[in-house]
Amino acid sequence: MNLDRLEWINTGQEPPVDSKQRIIDPHHHLWERGGSRYRAEELSKDTSRGHRVTDTIFVECLANYRKEAQKELRSVGETEFVFNESARSKELKGCNISGIVAFIDLSLGDKISDLLDAHQEVSGEMLKGIRHATAWSSDPKISVSHSKPPEGLMTHKAFADGVRFLGTHNLSFDAWVYFDQLHELYNLAKEAPNTKVIINHLGAPLKIGRWEKKQDNVQALWKSDLRKLAKLENVYLKIGGIGMENYFGTNWVSGPRPPSSDEVVTVWNERILWCIETFGTEKCMFESNYPVDRQTLPYSVIWNTFQKIVQTFTATEKDDLFWATARSVYGIGG
C-alpha cells in the first residue's frame, strides 16, 4: 500500500462541486515515518484545494510515540505532536486542527483517569475522544488493527468500563471494527449509554479474504447490525474510508490515473445513501480518512463524491453531513 504516489494522485484532482459548502473533516491522520509524510503542510495544501474545509479532527495512528516512556504513556507523544502541528497549521493559514482523538488502552477500565489527565495536559481543550481500534479477524488475509487487539476485546468487562468512563469525562469513543464485529459493538454501546460511540469507515463492509466472494452475506449482516446500532441514541456513523482498496478491493490503484468522483459514486452511492437513510443525517458525518485514502483517491475527489451523492438533499441535511453532526458530536468549531 503506497500512500505517497503524489504525482499519480494529483493527476485526478478536481475542482469542487460546491465550494461554498462548509466542511469539518472529522477523521484524518498526521505522521512522518518510513518515507511517508503527512503533516501540517500537506494537510493545509489538501484542505485548500477549493472545498471549504474550516476544521479537522485528528485520529490516532501510532505517530510520534514516546518510545522510552512507560507503555501506557507512550501515546501521549502523539497527542503532543498533533497539538504542535495544530499551531503550525494556523501559522500556515490552513484549516484549524480543532480536535484530537487519541489512543489510550481502554482495557485498563476506570484506571485510565491518570492517562486522560496526561493527554489533556499536553493538548488543552483539544482532546475530544479516544480510539482503541478493535478490528480483528481470524482470516490471515485480513489484518488485525494496529493496536493488536485480542479476539472479542469489546466483550471484556474492563474494556466496557473504560468506554463508560469516557462518557463521564465528556469524551467519545471512536470504533474501528469490521462488519462482522458490529454485534459486539452494539452490546458495548448499550452498556455505555452515556458515551458517544462513533463507528469509523462505514462499519467496514469488507471485500477481501474469505468475504471477497461472499458479498451477499456481507451486505446482509452489515445492514442487519447497522440497523440495530442506528436505533441507539448514543451511536453515530462516519461515512468514509471509501478509498481503502486494501479493505474494499476496488482495484483503482492499478489504473493509469485515479478514479473520477463520478466513478466513485457508481461504486458507493447505493450503500452510502442506505446508511444515511438508516441513521439519519443528524447521526452521520462525512470523513476523508486522509492520507490513508490517498492510496487511491485525491482529496478533492472524496468530497466531490459526497457532494454528488447528496446533491438532492436539503441545505440543512447537507450541513448535518458535512459539518454540523461533527461539530455537535465532538464539540468543536464555531
Q: What is the pLDDT of residue 110?
A: 84
Count of other CB atoms within 10 angstroms of residue 198: 28
Q: How far apart are CA 30 and CA 46, in angstroms?
A: 13
* Residue 185 contacts residue 221 (beta carbons within 8 Å): no
Domain that holds residue 58: 6-330
Question: Does 277 map to a domain?
Answer: yes
Q: What is the pLDDT of residues 9-36, one digit of tens each?
A: 999 999 999 999 999 999 999 999 988 9
Question: Does 263 map to a domain?
Answer: yes
Number of domains, the chain? 1
Question: Does 313 map to a domain?
Answer: yes
Q: What is the pLDDT of residue 244?
A: 97
Question: Does 141 map to a domain?
Answer: yes
Nine-digit cell at 178?
469490521
Question: Does 98 map to a domain?
Answer: yes
Q: What is the pLDDT of residue 93?
A: 83
* Residue 238 contacts residue 272 (beta carbons within 8 Å): no
Question: Does 1 map to a domain?
Answer: no
Q: What is the pLDDT of residue 3?
A: 74
Separation in Å, CA 48 to CA 15, 55, 220: 11, 12, 39
Position 213, amino acid: K
Q: What is the pLDDT of residue 112?
A: 96
CATH code for the domain of 200? 3.20.20.140
Q: What is the pTM of this model?
A: 0.97
**Residue 322: is it exposed, middle or buried by C-beta count within 10 angstroms (0-12/13-18/19+)?**
buried
Q: What is the pLDDT of residue 2?
A: 76
Q: How far apart are CA 267 and CA 296, in angstroms?
A: 13
Q: What is the DSSP string of 108-158?
A: GGGGGHHHHHHHHHHHGGGEEEEE------S-TTSPPPTT-PPTTGGGSHH
Ranges of residues in the chain with a pLDDT under 50 are none
Nine-digit cell at 228?
440495530
